[in-house]
Amino acid sequence: MKRKPAAYARAGVDVDLGNSLKDSLPALVRKTHGPRVLGGIGGFGGLFRAAFPGMKDPVLVASMDGVGTKLKIAVLAGRHATVGEDLVNHCVNDIAVMGARPLFFLDYIGAGKLDPAVFTGVVAGLARACRNAGCALLGGETAQMPGLYHGKDYDLVGCIVGVAGRADILDGSRVRAGDALVALPSSGLHTNGYTLARKVLLGKLKLGVHDRCPGLRGTVAEELLRVHRNYEPALRSVPRRALHAAAHITGGGLPDNLPRALPEGCRAVIVRRSLRVPALFRLIAEAGNVREEEMFRVFNMGVGMVLVVAARDAAKVAESLRGRIIGRVETGPRGVDFV
């Protein structure tokens, strides 16, 4: 006699499916674990041994973020292996600009109904990025909430904890007038501006995700799903005497994010012609009739990270990281000028 599905499953929440998918996690996650991870996956909390030999006055640094509506492109394209990497790398960058190295990461995946292929792809991406970042994927939460999430849509959020020696924390206090601004290129939109990008490319231009982007080599999906870069190794390679501050260029672009790395009395001056705006951003601006000022507030415009470095070290840092000097720090109200 065929077993009748449980009432909860008939209502839309398949507990057995959730449990069976979680059974596949240990093999993926274990590769991100080092000797400081205690216990395994499946407990009520993850265990991480707080031992920092050789580090004076260690300070924990935490951050939390999501991938935003980049997930809509992943759903439309049926490609979910990279958004997990996006999430981890975004969070790693957010603590790296404060001088911290990642320790462990936790994720949240919420969906109306769990799709095994989607779930496995996302978690594989999380694990791959954590492994590359030297960060333990310590645990997470998977929620089935029909009625809140609809169709194939899902949400993806992450929390990261890292550590920095107190003397090594980058808080902007070392920034001085005369410092140089070194920009590191982004791989694309990273994880911001997708609502506007979708409106222009899918709405106004009526492109499908598998159509080729006008004037670009890749399809819409290929261009919009490029993985958010992890800049932590680049920041770590810069001598602390040279690196005075750093800004992760996310939502709000250069105008809103760069001031977060500056102290009062310091203003960033960016030479507009020094920027190399990639074709994808130009396409969105032209097709969507979006003013340049707004483009710089919504998108990273080809700059994923800005380092504030001592002027004498700027050329060497830019060359070693394949970056570009885009301006300087001057005295004035905290903010950004384009000249």
- pLDDT tens for 238-297 read 999 999 999 999 999 999 999 999 999 999 999 999 999 999 999 999 999 999 999 999
Per-residue pLDDT at 105 exceeds 70: yes
Q: 221, 123 in Cβ contact below 8 A?
A: no
Q: Which two tokens stand for residue 181?
A: 């601004």
Domain pair 12-168 / 180-338, same fold: no
Q: Is the dihedral of CA 108, 112, 113, 117 positive or negative?
A: negative
Confidence band, pLDDT 50/70/90 cuts, at residue 21: low
Helix (H/G/I), strand (E/B), else coil: 75: helix
Going by C-alpha positions, the residue among 122, 30, 35 that lies closest to residue 85 is 122
Q: Which pLDDT score is estimated for 38? A: 87
Long-range contacts of 314-319 (CB under 8 A, 24+ apart): 314/180, 314/182, 317/182, 317/238, 317/242, 317/243, 318/182
| Class in CATH terms, 12-168 | alpha beta
Q: What does DSSP say about strands 266-270 and 335-338: parallel, antiparallel, or unpaired?
A: parallel
DSSP one-letter code for 184 = E
Give mean pLDDT, residues 98-117.
94
Paired with 338 in beta bridges are: 270
CB 226 within 8 A of CB 304: no
Residue 337: DSSP 8-state: E
Domain residue ranges of the chain, discontinuous segments joined by +: 12-168, 180-338
| Record: fold of 180-338 | Phosphoribosyl-aminoimidazole Synthetase; Chain A, domain 2 (3.90.650)
